[in-house]
Protein backbone atom coordinates (compact mmCIF):
# COMPACT_ATOMS: atom_id res chain seq x y z
CA UNK A 1 0.00 0.00 0.00
CA UNK A 2 2.88 2.30 0.92
CA UNK A 3 4.54 1.45 -2.36
CA UNK A 4 1.37 2.15 -4.33
CA UNK A 5 1.02 5.66 -2.86
CA UNK A 6 4.68 6.37 -3.59
CA UNK A 7 4.20 5.28 -7.20
CA UNK A 8 1.12 7.50 -7.46
CA UNK A 9 3.07 10.43 -6.02
CA UNK A 10 5.88 9.92 -8.51
CA UNK A 11 3.42 9.61 -11.38
CA UNK A 12 1.66 12.81 -10.28
CA UNK A 13 5.02 14.61 -10.17
CA UNK A 14 5.91 13.32 -13.62
CA UNK A 15 2.58 14.52 -14.99
CA UNK A 16 3.03 17.93 -13.36
CA UNK A 17 6.49 18.28 -14.92
CA UNK A 18 5.06 17.13 -18.25
CA UNK A 19 2.30 19.72 -18.23
CA UNK A 20 4.72 22.46 -17.13
CA UNK A 21 6.88 21.88 -20.20
CA UNK A 22 3.72 21.93 -22.33
CA UNK A 23 3.08 25.56 -21.36
CA UNK A 24 2.84 27.96 -24.27
CA UNK A 25 5.88 30.12 -25.09
CA UNK A 26 5.91 33.46 -23.22
CA UNK A 27 6.45 36.77 -25.03
CA UNK A 28 9.48 38.93 -24.23
CA UNK A 29 11.98 41.12 -26.10
CA UNK A 30 15.43 40.47 -27.55
CA UNK A 31 18.37 42.84 -27.82
CA UNK A 32 22.10 42.37 -28.32
CA UNK A 33 25.29 43.37 -26.55
CA UNK A 34 28.58 42.72 -28.35
CA UNK A 35 29.99 41.72 -24.95
CA UNK A 36 28.55 38.29 -25.80
CA UNK A 37 30.41 38.16 -29.12
CA UNK A 38 33.78 37.88 -27.38
CA UNK A 39 34.52 34.19 -26.72
CA UNK A 40 37.32 35.04 -24.28
CA UNK A 41 35.02 36.90 -21.87
CA UNK A 42 35.24 35.04 -18.56
CA UNK A 43 32.05 33.84 -16.89
CA UNK A 44 33.51 35.44 -13.77
CA UNK A 45 32.47 38.78 -15.30
CA UNK A 46 28.77 37.80 -15.05
CA UNK A 47 26.13 37.13 -12.41
CA UNK A 48 26.63 33.45 -13.27
CA UNK A 49 30.19 33.32 -11.94
CA UNK A 50 29.57 30.84 -9.12
CA UNK A 51 30.86 27.81 -11.09
CA UNK A 52 27.65 25.97 -10.22
CA UNK A 53 25.01 23.85 -11.94
CA UNK A 54 25.44 23.03 -15.63
CA UNK A 55 27.90 25.94 -15.98
CA UNK A 56 30.32 24.25 -13.57
CA UNK A 57 33.74 23.96 -15.17
CA UNK A 58 33.06 26.47 -17.97
CA UNK A 59 35.45 29.41 -17.72
CA UNK A 60 34.66 31.55 -20.78
CA UNK A 61 31.72 32.32 -23.08
CA UNK A 62 33.45 30.50 -25.93
CA UNK A 63 33.48 27.22 -23.97
CA UNK A 64 29.67 27.17 -23.65
CA UNK A 65 28.46 24.32 -25.92
CA UNK A 66 26.09 26.41 -28.06
CA UNK A 67 28.15 29.65 -28.08
CA UNK A 68 27.46 32.26 -29.47
CA UNK A 69 23.85 31.41 -28.65
CA UNK A 70 24.21 32.69 -25.10
CA UNK A 71 22.24 35.43 -23.38
CA UNK A 72 21.64 37.55 -20.36
CA UNK A 73 18.10 37.19 -19.08
CA UNK A 74 15.74 38.90 -16.66
CA UNK A 75 15.28 35.45 -15.09
CA UNK A 76 18.71 35.89 -13.45
CA UNK A 77 17.83 38.07 -10.49
CA UNK A 78 21.32 38.13 -9.04
CA UNK A 79 24.54 36.28 -8.28
CA UNK A 80 24.34 32.49 -8.62
CA UNK A 81 20.68 32.51 -9.70
CA UNK A 82 19.14 29.09 -10.25
CA UNK A 83 18.43 30.34 -13.81
CA UNK A 84 22.16 30.48 -14.59
CA UNK A 85 22.79 27.87 -17.28
CA UNK A 86 19.09 27.48 -18.07
CA UNK A 87 18.28 26.65 -21.68
CA UNK A 88 15.57 28.55 -23.52
CA UNK A 89 14.16 28.13 -26.98
CA UNK A 90 13.75 31.53 -28.59
CA UNK A 91 11.09 31.79 -31.27
CA UNK A 92 11.12 34.61 -33.80
CA UNK A 93 8.74 35.29 -36.67
CA UNK A 94 10.71 36.74 -39.55
CA UNK A 95 9.17 39.26 -41.93
CA UNK A 96 9.06 36.59 -44.67
CA UNK A 97 6.69 34.52 -42.54
CA UNK A 98 9.16 31.87 -41.39
CA UNK A 99 9.47 31.11 -37.71
CA UNK A 100 13.00 30.45 -36.51
CA UNK A 101 13.58 28.58 -33.24
CA UNK A 102 17.02 28.40 -31.62
CA UNK A 103 18.16 27.42 -28.12
CA UNK A 104 20.14 29.88 -26.01
CA UNK A 105 22.02 29.33 -22.75
CA UNK A 106 21.44 31.87 -19.98
CA UNK A 107 24.82 33.12 -18.74
CA UNK A 108 24.05 36.48 -17.11
CA UNK A 109 21.45 38.84 -15.75
CA UNK A 110 19.73 41.44 -17.95
CA UNK A 111 17.51 44.36 -17.09
CA UNK A 112 14.71 43.27 -19.44
CA UNK A 113 14.00 40.40 -21.77
CA UNK A 114 16.94 38.55 -23.28
CA UNK A 115 20.23 40.10 -24.43
CA UNK A 116 22.38 37.94 -26.69
CA UNK A 117 25.39 38.32 -28.95
CA UNK A 118 25.04 40.20 -32.23
CA UNK A 119 25.70 36.87 -33.96
CA UNK A 120 22.99 35.13 -31.92
CA UNK A 121 20.52 37.89 -32.81
CA UNK A 122 21.49 37.57 -36.47
CA UNK A 123 21.10 33.79 -36.47
CA UNK A 124 17.61 34.11 -35.00
CA UNK A 125 16.29 37.17 -36.81
CA UNK A 126 18.36 37.15 -39.98
CA UNK A 127 19.25 40.79 -39.30
CA UNK A 128 22.70 42.35 -39.05
CA UNK A 129 23.33 44.81 -36.22
CA UNK A 130 22.90 47.73 -38.62
CA UNK A 131 19.49 46.39 -39.75
CA UNK A 132 18.29 45.29 -36.31
CA UNK A 133 15.73 47.77 -34.93
CA UNK A 134 16.14 46.58 -31.32
CA UNK A 135 13.49 45.27 -28.93
CA UNK A 136 12.57 42.37 -31.23
CA UNK A 137 9.45 40.59 -30.08
CA UNK A 138 10.25 36.95 -29.36
CA UNK A 139 8.66 34.07 -27.51
CA UNK A 140 10.60 31.94 -25.08
CA UNK A 141 10.22 28.43 -23.78
CA UNK A 142 12.29 26.77 -21.04
CA UNK A 143 13.70 23.54 -22.50
CA UNK A 144 16.00 20.78 -21.16
CA UNK A 145 19.70 21.65 -20.94
CA UNK A 146 20.49 18.93 -23.50
CA UNK A 147 18.88 21.22 -26.09
CA UNK A 148 21.78 23.64 -25.40
CA UNK A 149 24.37 20.88 -25.70
CA UNK A 150 25.01 20.21 -21.99
Candidate list 50, 100, 102, 127; residue touching ligand NAG; CB under 6 A = 50
For ligand NAG, which residue of 41, 80, 119, 145 counts as binding (CB under 6 A)? Answer: 80
Element holding 53 (H helix, E strand): none
Q: Which is nearer to ligand NAG, 83 or 93 (CB)?
A: 83
Cα–chain center distance at 127: 20
Distance in Å, CB of 53 to ligand NAG, minimum: 7
Name, in order, each residue with C-beta under 8 angstroms of 74's C-beta and a sequence gap of 6 or more. 28, 109, 110, 111, 112, 113, 114
Binding residue for ligand NAG, selected from 14, 26, 45, 52, defined by CB under 6 A: 52
DSSP annotation of 60: B
What residues between 81 and 110 interact with ligand NAG by CB under 6 A?
Answer: none
Amino acid sequence: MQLVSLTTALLTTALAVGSASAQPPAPTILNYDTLYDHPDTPLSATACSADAGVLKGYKTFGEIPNYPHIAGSFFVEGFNSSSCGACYSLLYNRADGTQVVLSFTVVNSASGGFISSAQGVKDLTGLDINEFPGNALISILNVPSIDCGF
